[in-house]
Amino acid sequence: MKRRGGAISVEDLTSTLGLSDVSGSVTDRVARALGLDILSGRIAPGENIPREEDLRDRFGVSRTVLREAVRVLIAKGLVTSKTRVGTLVRPPQNWNYFDAEVLAWRVSVGLDANLLQSLREARMAVEPFAARLAAMRASPAEIAEMAESVHLMQSALDDRALFARADLRFHRAVAAASGNFVLGSFASVIETALVCATLLLPLEKKALRTEAVARHAELLDAVRQRDPDRASKLMADMIGFGAQVGEQPPAGAQAG
């Protein structure tokens, strides 16, 4: 797994989350580069992004590609375009952190304590309730999907990326089994937080992954037994466990 300055790389996140390859189209690459400039603070809120002529020189692309990239950033809430003013970076509170790519870009800039805490709190606010609903509503097919995910986690103890994908599959299954489609609006936040936690687990500490599998198996059992209180508590405990062993900023990460 590639790390940059103590951070998980955007390639790791996008690959595990199943997003399009960051190499993508020319438009995607330009949008990502400008997005990283904004999220890192190289272009501050209230400032204009560089002039079109300068961006064309920097990226070697056409005016059409640049304008398409800007439209991508507008859709993500990062910039706004005004006549005779230009393209301005919006305040951070307007950035769409429900967009999985925005979160992946933010993480690639560098993990810090505040970001990790915010992601963990988002999980804690949503996932225990989703687990409660899953215990009440999960169909046999959805329970089978959770069981398969636990099996895949057990099979991937020695591979951080495969383990993260299996872990993510389990939590997606829980969300689906909740039967609440509105929870899908929070999926990118929850999934990015989860993948951050899993990818940061020390690869050499297989025991930590073994314990994580056991906790997922317990939650699966609570869903099978239709025990919503137990399922909710186990999910909250699981998030707390991840915070203790896997979500501390690694050496070299940005200070909070």
pLDDT for 248 equals: 46
More confident residue, 209 or 42: 42
CA nearest 205: which of 170, 244, 171, 236? 244
Residue 46, sorted as left (phi over 0), alpha (psi -120 to 50) or beta, turns out to be: left
Q: Is the pLDDT of residue 245 over 80?
A: no
End-to-end CA distance of the chain: 23
Q: At what angle do helices 113-137 and 206-224 cross, to 10 degrees?
A: 30
Q: Is the pLDDT of residue 204 over 50?
A: yes
Domains of the chain (ranges plus CATH)?
3-94 (1.10.10.10), 111-245 (1.20.120.530)
Whole-number Å distance between alpha carbons of 184 and 35: 24
The pLDDT confidence band at residue 193, using thresholds 50, 70 and 90, is confident
Whole-number Å distance between alpha carbons of 121 and 130: 15
Q: Is the pLDDT of residue 187 over 80?
A: no
More confident residue, 13 or 189: 189
The pLDDT confidence band at residue 69, using thresholds 50, 70 and 90, is very high
5-14, 18-27, 70-79, 188-197: range with lowest mean pLDDT: 5-14
pLDDT for 249 equals: 43
For the residues 156-170, what does the mean pLDDT come to? 88
Angle, alpha carbons 113-209-187 (nearest 5°): 55
CA nearest 79: which of 29, 35, 26? 35
pLDDT for 255 equals: 35
Percent of the chain scoring above 70 in pLDDT:
81
H or E element: which one contains 86? strand 86-89
